[in-house]
């Protein structure tokens, strides 16, 4: 199966064709048509016709948007580090405002691709800003639990919007995130600014590295080779500019690495299961694609909502507690899915993986932010979220290798 592609299977119990969409690699997942991940996408068979193309535009649009989300995360964090929250917030909002009319009114595919890329850059930056200004475990828990809950509810929202306003309207749903901008600006959050000159070479190398890593799950040999080469150049750049675009104080902080590593692995498991379980549910339960999408929404909602409570329970504990608890929940979900084909067991497995990933994102982000100086907090959150997104990218690819 291809990540981000539509998959069809025949099911004797359904008596027809079961259709669902494979998960998207940039931190979101797709079932049938809706998009998950803070905003919603609807794929329509008519989309290619309206763009005067013979096929759906999603296969062209999604890679560019995935790239924009991954690249935008550290870039907006770097802008915040140098220019402050207000500037970074306004730039992120402007990108969303530019992208929304493009995707709604795009007369041709290139305009749709450009609009989707802008829609990826904007929300990615807003998420990083929200996490960087969260001053407590409670605030961080609200941010990450909200992200997970919105990801879970997005398929249903996508169906409603597409049914009433058309598939193009779902492409503009990231604009809803702009409602939070005035509230944040009224708070006038202030973060320490970096006094160093802008590291253009470091920013370019990190962008190139992220670009290669995003495409590793699809073209692993050339993209993997490029990632190794660019990674070596970036390491040399870190030695030349320790206070550059990628601060050495962040990447060499032991606690940051200890926190970011498990968050990456939890994302791999969670998004890998979101990819692998829908076809199993369709086959074993005899459900249609729509029924599968609706059924798997509930464990994802549970994981997002319950993650806040679990995060609060572990906020004051030693680091060892989340390091053991959240991976244990994730492993339990994998084992449950491996030993049972019952639909209830598969949904419970997804709930455990979702709970572990959402809780881990909040708990480990709080500790990663506390592990670096205040002036590097935004850079730390940018790199932390980038690793989480890469985990969401590699999860479906690994699931493909394991389950086919």
| Section 328-356 average pLDDT | 95
Range with lowest mean pLDDT among 85-94, 174-183, 218-227, 302-311: 174-183
Domain ranges of the chain: 6-199+241-403, 200-240
The verdict on domain 6-199+241-403 having CATH code 1.20.1250.20 is yes
Average pLDDT over residues 305-315: 92
Q: Is the pLDDT of residue 165 over 70?
A: yes
Structure tokens at 203: 């920013």
Residue 47 pLDDT grade (very low, low, confident, very high; cuts 50, 70, 90): very low
Q: What is the pLDDT of residue 33?
A: 35
Mean pLDDT for 12-33 is 38
Whether residue 329 has pLDDT greater than 90? yes
pLDDT at 141 over 50: yes
Mean pLDDT, all residues of the chain? 81
pLDDT score, position 404 = 63
What pLDDT, on the 0 to 100 scale, is given for residue 58?
55
Residue 156 has pLDDT above 60, yes or no: yes
Give mean pLDDT, residues 300-313.
93
Statement: residue 2 has pLDDT above 80: no
Q: What is the pLDDT of residues 62-88, one digit of tens each?
A: 667 778 888 889 998 988 888 888 888
Lowest model confidence (mean pLDDT) among 93-107, 267-281, 357-371: 93-107
Cα separation values, 100 from 119, 147, 333, Å: 7, 20, 38
With 90 as the cut, is the pLDDT of residue 197 above it?
Answer: no
Q: What is the mean pLDDT of residues 312-332?
A: 93
Q: Which residue has the higher pLDDT, 205 or 218?
A: 205
Tens of pLDDT along 214-256?
Answer: 888 878 899 999 999 999 999 999 999 998 999 999 999 999 9
Residue 6 pLDDT level (bands cut at 50, 70, 90): very low
22-36, 105-119, 188-202, 255-269: range with highest mean pLDDT: 255-269
pLDDT at 356 over 50: yes
Tell the residue number behind the tokens 């990447």, with chain if given. Answer: 251
The whole-number average pLDDT for the span 51-55 is: 43
Quick check: 193 pLDDT over 80?
no
Neighbours of 327 (CB within 10 A): 16
């Amino acid at each position: 199966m291809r990540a981000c592609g539509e998959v069809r299977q025949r099911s004797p119990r359904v008596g027809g064709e079961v259709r669902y969409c494979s998960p998207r690699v940039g931190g979101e997942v797709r079932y049938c048509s809706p998009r998950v991940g803070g905003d919603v996408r609807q794929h329509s068979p008519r989309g290619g016709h309206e763009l005067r193309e013979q096929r759906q535009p999603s296969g062209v649009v999604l890679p560019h948007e995935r790239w924009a989300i991954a690249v935008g995360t550290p870039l907006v964090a770097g802008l915040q580090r140098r220019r402050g929250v207000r500037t970074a917030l306004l730039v992120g909002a402007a990108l969303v405002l530019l992208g929304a009319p493009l995707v709604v009114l795009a007369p041709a595919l290139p305009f749709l691709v450009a609009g989707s890329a802008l829609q990826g850059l904007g929300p990615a930056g807003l998420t990083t800003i929200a996490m960087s200004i969260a001053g407590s475990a409670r605030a961080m828990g609200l941010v990450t639990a909200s992200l997970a809950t919105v990801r879970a509810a997005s398929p249903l929202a996508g169906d409603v919007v597409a049914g009433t306003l058309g598939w193009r309207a779902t492409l503009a749903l990231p604009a809803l995130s702009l409602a939070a901008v005035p509230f944040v600006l009224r708070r006038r959050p202030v973060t320490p600014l970096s006094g160093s000159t802008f590291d253009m070479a470091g920013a370019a190398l990190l962008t190139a590295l992220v670009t290669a890593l995003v495409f590793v799950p699809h073209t692993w040999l050339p993209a993997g080779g490029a990632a190794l080469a660019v990674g070596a150049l970036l390491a040399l750049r870190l030695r030349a500019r320790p206070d550059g675009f990628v601060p050495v104080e962040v990447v060499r902080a032991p606690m940051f690495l200890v926190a970011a590593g498990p968050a990456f692995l939890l994302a791999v498991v969670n998004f890998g299961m979101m990819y692998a379980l829908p076809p199993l549910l369709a086959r074993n339960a005899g459900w249609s694609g729509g029924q599968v999408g609706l059924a798997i929404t509930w464990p994802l909602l549970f994981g997002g909502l319950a993650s806040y409570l679990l995060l609060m329970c572990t906020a004051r504990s030693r680091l060892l507690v989340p390091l053991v608890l959240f991976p244990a929940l994730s492993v339990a979900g994998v084992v449950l899915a491996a030993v049972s084909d019952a639909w209830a067991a598969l949904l419970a497995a997804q709930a455990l993986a979702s709970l572990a990933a959402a809780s881990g994102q909040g708990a480990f982000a709080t500790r990663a932010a506390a592990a670096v100086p205040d002036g590097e907090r935004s850079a730390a959150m940018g790199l932390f979220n980038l690793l989480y997104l890469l985990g969401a990218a590699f999860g479906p690819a690994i699931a493909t290798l394991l389950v086919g």
